[in-house]
Structure 1
Amino acid sequence: MIRHLQHYLLLTMILGSLGCQTLHQHKNTPVIVQPADVPKELCKATIPEYVIEPPDILTIDALRVLPKQPYALQPLDSISVQINKSNGEPLFNASASIDPAGELPLGPEFGSVKASGKTIGQLRTEIKRLVNETYSEPLVGVDLVQIALLQQIAGEHIVSPDGKVNLGVYGQVRVAGMSIPESKQAIEAHLSTYLDKPQIAVDIFGFNSKFYYVISEGGGLGDQVTRIPFTGNETVLDAISNVEGLSAVSSKQMWVARPGRNMDGGEQVLPVDWQAVSMRGDTRTNYQIMPGDRVFVAEDKLVAFDNHFAKQVAPIERMAGVVLLVTQAAQRLVYFEQSGTNGGNSGF
């Protein structure tokens, strides 16, 4: 009788520790009536014009990058030189870069000439003077092919946390919050301080600033949040596939929580009929994902209850295990003491 009473008290303590957590349900998700034209599979919307944000990566191509005149040549600038005799016979025709020492090589016959710090006109005069030592009335043509600083404009540029791209010696330009055409205009306006009517092309190389999230309840063991890059064509089905499907603790209940308010000022919560989407190919709730969306997957209630029950019972099990161990040790100690006493009293 006493043993049964102890078991009853232990069960009462366990159920009492669970409180009102048993088989708790989510509060009813606020279902907002959405317009019929919510973008979904087979009826997708065009994504608004992309807005640049950190840490996107831009690709800049220099279409027309010419220095303002008069331009003083610098090391690593590329120069095209044509040298002909007075009768038009070619003597030298090649493009070369000014070396770090400021010299422009003109081949073994003419050696090199000091070019750094000179304008194109001054360099042409200097080359003509050099060639004139060997050939009378030479014809000399000099053109600037490419400036060395062009390499700091063209290429891939990451948008830094302050919203700017770094153009080397030309400084930094703020592009965060701009569209691609707006960023092109801003960069060209900045470069016009140093260059003559610059023209560039801007594109997005790395779309790194737009994400959506798949949040899966963990059945009382913590939620799992997965951040997925936004590409502009995903649906709920794509989002679930990107996290390798539903886990063992997930239920079929899910919805899309969209940042911002709807036309009525309420929350944008889009319930998803997962069985209809996955089993019947129904597209009505297979919504198109937008940047910032949260695809929330609710937990399985039985799994959540089992995990919660296990967490509540575990301390009691450990305490009961300790009590049982101490009780068994005490019983053995009493048994050995009684055995020793009985053995000492026995004899002939």
Structure 2
Amino acid sequence: MVLALAALVSSAGCHVVYPGTKPGGPQPCVPPSVPRELSKVVLPDYIIEPPDVLEIEAIRLVPRSPYQLEPLDVVAIAAQGLLPEQQITGEYTIQPNGTIHLGFELGAVQAAGMSAEQLQANLDRLLNEAYRAPKVSVTLSQLGAQQQIAGEHLVAPDGRVNLGTYGRVQLVGLTIDEARAKLEAHLSTYLEDPKISLDVLGYNSKVFYVVTQGAGLGDGVVILPTRGNETVIDAIGQIQGLQSTSSTRMWVARPGGNSCGGDQVLPVDWLAITQRGDVTTNYQLLPGDRLYVSEDKLMAFDTKMAKIFAPLERVFGVTLLGTSTVRQLEGRNNGGFGGGF
């Protein structure tokens, strides 16, 4: 047992063997162009995928003409040629019954169902009956019933975002600029030359993984979003450091092959990064990367021994318990017989 433990300690401290290599063989092929601390790269245009969260805000939402006025819309009316006490200049809200109230002289005037031009012609006719050569203009000031587009929008599993009464738009696989153009093109069927602003609020579809080997107690996987700036030490910091079952042996496994025809395995010298400030192996983490943290060999050995001896200890414990119980019963029986004589 002692010799096996000594051999384990010796082998754990001599050579680091990474996936795809043999002890004493060549190390993984790491090109010098791999991005790392102090030499990071800017990630390409972000591609929208589920379940990203988009922030969409409408800058210009004007209904297509001819627009029919609806209840709760606000119209601006400017009239000239009226008596000072009978001015009707200002903004008027269309009531739920579809009318606007223009004072005691004109009373309630029907507005809903008309365009602004039709309402202006109707008011011009009514004012000409009471005044000499009045002039009136009507413009739409505010939409009351039109749905506003603002806030967070989740990209659904089918790649669409929900715009309420304006329908759903497919945005998966598009960049931010392409998605903005597509949203404006979709809204143009309902609105006049719409303008929106679009940004990604939740970068949920681009992630990397930190895998910690559990020393025989089960591996752990932490999923972290990629924001374009994380390095190895950032990732370890986000999982609150190394665990008691972890060693300082780790590497980055990157999907795809390398220039040498093998797996993209980037060995990490944790002690150099933390104790010497060496940035050589503090790689920049890209979407899809796996930062693998190997187990502590002594902890793994202890766990393995515990798994082997724990069943034996339980068997011995049950045996000892049964033996002691039998002895106690025999002692009581012998004592009882002795007291009877």
Paired letter, 1:124: Q
Among 121, 125, 129, the alignment partner of 2:121 is 125
Contact kept? 1:54, 1:163, Cα under 8 Å: yes
Q: Does 1:212 align with 2:202?
A: no
Q: Deviations over 1:62-108 (max 9, x none)?
A: 33333222222223333222222269999233334434433335467
Q: Which residue of structure 1 lines up, in the alignment, with residue 287 of structure 2?
A: 291
CA drift of 1:263 comes to: 3.7
Matched to 1:250, the amino acid is: S
Q: Name the CA distance, whole Å, in 1 between partners of 2:188 and 2:322.
A: 86
Give the deviation of 1:261 after TM superposition. Answer: 2.8
Between 274-283 and 257-266, report the one with greater CA deviation. 257-266
In terms of mean alpha carbon deviation, does 98-107 or 321-330 score higher?
98-107
Counterpart position of 1:331 = 327
**Residue type of the partner of 1:297?**
V
Unaligned runs of 5+ in 1: 1-10, 16-20
In structure 1, distance between residues paired with 2:223 and 2:9: 31
> Does the Cα contact within 8 Å between 1:152 and 1:167 map onto a contact in 2?
no
SS at match of 1:144: strand
Aligned partners of 1:75 and 1:102 also within 8 Å:
yes
* Distance in structure 2 (CA, Å) of the matches to 1:94 and 1:333: 105
* Aligned counterpart for 2:163 among listed residues 167, 175, 178: 167
Aligned 1:164-243 pairs, distance under 5 A? 164-243=160-239
Are the structure 2 counterparts of residues 24 and 278 from structure 1 closer, same or farther at C-alpha, using a change threshold of 3 Å?
closer
Alignment RMSD (CA, Å): 2.9
Number of residue pairs the alignment of both structures matches: 327
Match of 1:59 in 2: 55
Asked if structure 2 preserves the Cα contact closer than 8 Å seen for 1:22 and 1:305, the reply is no
How far apart are 1:50 and its partner, in Å?
Answer: 0.6
- Percent identity reads 48
Say if 1:74 and 1:224 are closer, same or farther in 2 by CA, change over 3 A: same
Provide the C-alpha distance between the structure 2 equivalents of 1:137 and 1:213, rounded to a whole number of angstroms.
77
**CA deviation after TM superposition for structure 1 residue 226, in Å:** 1.4
Equivalent position of 1:29 in the other structure: 19
Match of 2:141 in 1: 145
Closer, same or farther in 2 for the Cα pair 1:269/1:142, shift >3 Å?
Answer: same
The SS at the match of 2:30 is coil
Residue 240 of structure 1 deviates from its aligned partner by 0.5
Q: Shift in Å at residue 248 of structure 1?
A: 0.9
Please state if 1:275 is matched with 2:271: yes
Task: Give the letter aligned to residue 253 of structure 2.
Answer: A
Matched AA of 2:258 = N
TM-score (norm 2): 0.85
Q: Structure 2 unaligned runs (5+)?
A: 21-26
Q: C-alpha distance in 2, partners of 1:39/1:280?
A: 19
Q: CA deviation at 1:333?
A: 2.0
SS in 1 for 2:120: helix
The aligned counterpart of 1:309 is 305
**SS at 1:40's partner residue?**
coil
- Equivalent position amino acid for 2:42 in 1: T
Given the alignment of the two structures, is residue 320 of structure 1 paired with residue 316 of structure 2, yes or no?
A: yes
- Tell me which amino acid in the other structure corresponds to 1:199: K
Moved more, 125-134 or 214-223: 125-134
Question: Is contact 1:233–1:288 with CA below 8 Å preserved after alignment?
Answer: yes
Normalising by the residue count of structure 1, what TM-score does the alignment of the two structures yield?
0.84
CA displacement 1:183-225 (0-9 Å, x = unmatched):
1121122122222333322222222222222111122111121
Range moving further from structure 2, 321-330 or 201-210: 201-210
State the partner residue of 2:255. Answer: 259
Stretch of structure 1 that moved more, 224-233 or 62-71? 62-71
Task: For residue 341 of structure 1, report the CA deviation from its aligned partner.
Answer: 3.7
Name whichever of 124-133 and 154-163 sits farther off.
Answer: 124-133
